[in-house]
Amino acid sequence: MGLTCTRCEGTGFLNAYQIDDSIANEDHETILAWLEEKELEFEGRCCSCHTGNPPCSYCTDYPADLQVCDCCGNSVDAWHGIPGEHYNVEDPEGPNGPYAYNGGLCECH
């Protein structure tokens, strides 16, 4: 077993609180598919909040800040080994490992 990533609190996602409750206990691939669906749903929309209207569900329901953890993953769609963990058996070590740029240590080490 590796160490828990403190940046994402072991979830594999930054801002995991924005994951819809209906899929919060699903696997990471299901959550990624849900995020992609949400991004497509909101693509091209613009918000009216800049006109002085209060924020509404039009912009607050979009999980804009949810992303794959940039410490234990690539910020987009993949993780280095097990999501939410560091230094486990699935993390390649040394100069070819995901943390080589940082002397072999993850960002939240």
Residue 33 lies in a domain: yes
Residue 26 lies in a domain: yes
Residue 74 lies in a domain: yes
Domain coverage including residue 86: 3-102
Residue 73 lies in a domain: yes
SS (H, E, C) the chain: CCEECCCCCCCCEECHHHCCCCCCCCCHHHHHHHHHHHHHHHCCCCCCHHHCCCCCHHHHCCCCCCEECCCCECCCCCECCCCCEECCCCCCCHHHCCCHHHCCCCCCC
Mean pLDDT of 32-39: 87
* Predicted pLDDT of residue 15: 92
Residue 107 lies in a domain: no
Please, which pLDDT band fits residue 58 given cuts at 50, 70 and 90?
A: low
% of the chain at pLDDT higher than 70? 78
Residue 60 lies in a domain: yes
Residue 109 lies in a domain: no
* Predicted pLDDT of residue 26: 94
Give the count of domains, the chain. 1
Residue 108 lies in a domain: no
